Structure 1
């Protein structure tokens, strides 16, 4: 399980880097909401790393954004 969680954390970091690089600027909610609250970004993270809860995806994306500063 720890290895699978690590994959989610890595996927969250990669997605965070893509957000910072501007590859997700087409997501309209991103201008109005924090990234971990954007359904489209959570769905993308779910697609990349299935099998977790919504809260785990939000945490992985939030942690990824923090770590990629």
Structure 2
């Protein structure tokens, strides 16, 4: 039996999509650090280019 690599299994487009309407969408979980995640999103995709939901107080300096 031939062994299959992960590259063969995960090649091509995925049926799984992420985000909301083409933009990243972050939902804060109980063990997350929302401030760090929002800082990463700001660096990665830029301010106003993602959506998020959090039970934490406002992050006015980050969004």
Same fold (TM over 0.5): no
The structure whose residues are more often helix, as a share, is: 1
- The structure with the larger Rg is 2
Normalised by the length of structure 2, the TM-score is 0.31
Structure ranking higher on relative contact order (CA contacts 8 Å, 6+ apart): 1
The structure whose residues are more often strand, as a share, is: 2
Normalised by the length of structure 1, the TM-score is 0.29
